[in-house]
Amino acid sequence: MKVLVLGGSGHVGKRLLENLASSSRDKATGASRGFAESPLSGEAWIKLDTCNISELTTALRGFDAVVNCVAGDARSISQGTQALAEAARQAGNPRIVHLSTMSVYGAVEGVVREDAALNPELGWYGRAKCEAEHRINEYARQGGEAVVLRPGCVFGPNSELWAGRIARWLQSGRLGDLGVGGDGWSNLVHVDDVCQAVVAALRLPLKPREVAAFNLAAPDSPRWNSYFVDLAVALQFTPVKRIRRSQLLLDSWLAGPPLKLAQISSKRLQWPVSALPDCMPPGLMGLWAQHIRLDATQASQRLGLGWTTYAAGLNSSAEWVERQGAGLIKKDGAACMR
């Protein structure tokens, strides 16, 4: 199967290309707007503006499937998916495997299955992801094949959002045991399990006009407080501090905006963004306290996933952080998002 991976330079996209490269059944090509050649040695690569329908249509011809791992701003997520759906129609309807997010469920609590209503109330990111899923549904209704994956928080090696920055916050004392503010379920999922789900989705039998959606979260993923403490202990960032809600609010609302502006200015001036502390988006406080638990039974049954254990995922995350060097973990300027 010939597979095009959009967003191939990102966390999941890069890992997916590595996995597909080891398969004798698939021939994968990566694509990204920001890279003229593959960040992985020997990988086929296309430099591509994923919001450009003409470029996408040309690129998609000859591929059996396309995996949409594109991240970034609202335009890249929403308009990029709209462009992808239109280009795929013009290119002969290859199967689309679209990476969405648990954020499409909004602030709902309790056990959540894939038939729960989508709710775009969690800011620009959740709204853009809901709009993207709407475009994928339209693609399927018009005769295309599509699978939607809704991962929780993707951790493991190279996870800047859920391993790198969490470790930096723990090391600097900006994060720790949050009390009731950290009692929400983490819904962690290892990056290799997301890749495993993508590979299974490429071959999943589908009914006409069916959009198969799957939650992705390890069944043994812990509450956030447990993860913060476990990661701190694994990295020897102890003793773990108790962080008051007032401290988080000051960090998010007072320090966050100036840090975000500094990041934007540094990127424009081509200064090293890695020299700046990570901003702490206010939406994270809601996430850490949210009692939402993704039910991933369908992914286990229909995709045949065998989940990486929490202990193994924690160890691989901590080992990756240690390899970067405490306090010197390289940052890629990832957007501050919930």
| Cα gap 51→33, rounded to integer Å | 9
Instruction: For residue 199, give every residue at least 6 positions away whose Cβ sits within 8 Å of its Cβ, in sequence order, or none.
Output: 19, 20, 23, 26
Q: Residues 25, 137: one domain?
A: yes
CB of 50 closer than 8 Å to CB of 33:
yes
Q: How far apart are CA 54 and CA 139, in angstroms?
A: 17
Reported in sequence order, the residue ranges of 153-259 that DSSP labels E, i.e. its strands, are 153-155, 188-190, 211-216
Same domain, 202 and 65: yes
24 within domain boundaries: yes
Same domain, 96 and 203: yes
Are residues 199 and 267 located together in one domain of the fold? no
Look at residue 274 in the predicted model and tell me its pLDDT: 61
**According to the model, what pLDDT value does residue 23 have?**
79
Cβ neighbours of residue 9 closer than 8 Å, sequence gap 6 or more: 30, 32, 34, 35, 39
Q: What is the pLDDT of residue 3?
A: 97
Residues 102 and 44 in one domain: yes
Query: What pLDDT is stored for residue 327 in this prediction?
Result: 47
Position 279 in a domain: yes
Residue 265's domain comprises: 159-187+220-291+309-324
Q: Choose one of 198, 216, 234: the last residue of a domain.
A: 216
- DSSP assignment string, 305-335: --PPPHHHHHHHHHHHHHHH-TT--------
- In one-letter notation, the amino acid at residue 122 is L
Domain CATH code at residue 18: 3.40.50.720
pLDDT at 72: 87
Residue 336: predicted pLDDT:
41
Q: Are residues 132 and 63 in the same domain?
A: yes
What are the residue ranges in the chain where pLDDT is below 50?
326-337
Q: What does the pLDDT read at residue 40?
A: 66
pLDDT at residue 82, as a whole number: 97
pTM of the model: 0.91
Q: Are 118 and 241 in a shared domain? A: no
Q: Mapping DSSP to helix (H, G, I), strand (E, B) and coil, where does residue 154 land? A: strand
